[in-house]
Amino acid sequence: MSYTMPEFLAHAIAMEREAAERYLELADMMEAHNNLEVAALFRDMVRYSNLHGDSIVERAAGLELPTLKSWQYRWVAPTEVGDEDAFDYTMTPWQALEYARENEGRAMNFYRTVSETSTDPTIKPLAMEFATEEADHMMALDKMISQTQRP
Amino acid sequence: MSYTMPEFLAHAIAMEREAAERYLELADMMEAHNNLEVAALFRDMVRYSNLHGDSIVERAAGLELPTLKSWQYRWVAPTEVGDEDAFDYTMTPWQALEYARENEGRAMNFYRTVSETSTDPTIKPLAMEFATEEADHMMALDKMISQTQRP
């Protein structure tokens, strides 16, 4: 898994955009549950993801980025959702938080692995910086999970 | 899993749109592999999915459809793609066909289950009709898989 800078940035941008979209869905859903505290956390994460995505787009200015396939950066489905009942599922706040945490964990592992395996001295510290940001998001989610009733 | 007609049509439209997008990605990828035969099959499936989606949109005219969450109709990731190497994966034609087949199978099962469990006499036959279409797609994929070299 050795990326060029354009490949790495393309993944990072796609991941931030996907995260922003999913957090927006989760925020809307939590409002439907009338859990405004968890909704507010997800709205904050929409904002962070968009800001981070925008800053990576700026950094990528002038580079030609490769086009990625959707499955190269997608969030996984909620683990509670089986194949058969994936279609009429309503998440509780706890499940939404766990779902977000799982995907943040995937993103963090991705960045960390890139940082550890990259031989490019400009990618290494950048990937580590992104991994640290994801770790911060995971901590915020963990804090909220500890305050949320498990279903 | 008992849907109202608007819920059922919203799922069906979302599934057709998602399928069209994924088939387009797969077709592009197969052209990059220079496998024009498999690319042509996927382009046909883009067209069928769009046509079917359009016809369902027509049928839904005048109904207010619910908004679905992305994970309620998403294709699953290719099974060959693990968490760690999901990011620099290149599919062979055989893997692309298997991936498409798996997702067609999920769609077929979804429609069949709706048809079997629905108590609405207008939804039952419609869901069975859609299940039959997906079965046709699976047969086309199976035929191509049998002619494609396994990696």
Maximum Cα–Cα distance for chain B, whole Å? 49
Report ipTM (2 d.p.): 0.77
Per-residue pLDDT of chain B (151 residues; tens, 9 = 90+): 578 999 999 999 999 999 999 999 999 989 988 899 999 999 999 999 999 999 999 999 999 999 888 888 888 877 665 444 444 457 889 989 999 999 999 999 999 999 999 999 999 999 999 999 999 999 999 999 999 988 7
Closest partner residue to A71 (CB to CB) among B11, B81, B88 is B81
Closest partner residue to A70 (CB to CB) among B22, B83, B110 is B22
Nearest Cα of chain B lies from the Cα of A46 at a distance, in angstroms, of 16
Contact A81 B71 (CB under 8 A): yes
Nearest Cα of chain A lies from the Cα of B62 at a distance, in angstroms, of 23
Residues in A touching B106 (Cβ below 8 Å)? 83
Residue of B nearest to A14 (CA): B87
Mean pLDDT on A62-72: 91
CA-CA distance, B32 to B27, in Å (whole number)? 9
Give the per-residue pLDDT at B87: 46
Give the per-residue pLDDT at B86: 44
Give the per-residue pLDDT at B81: 55
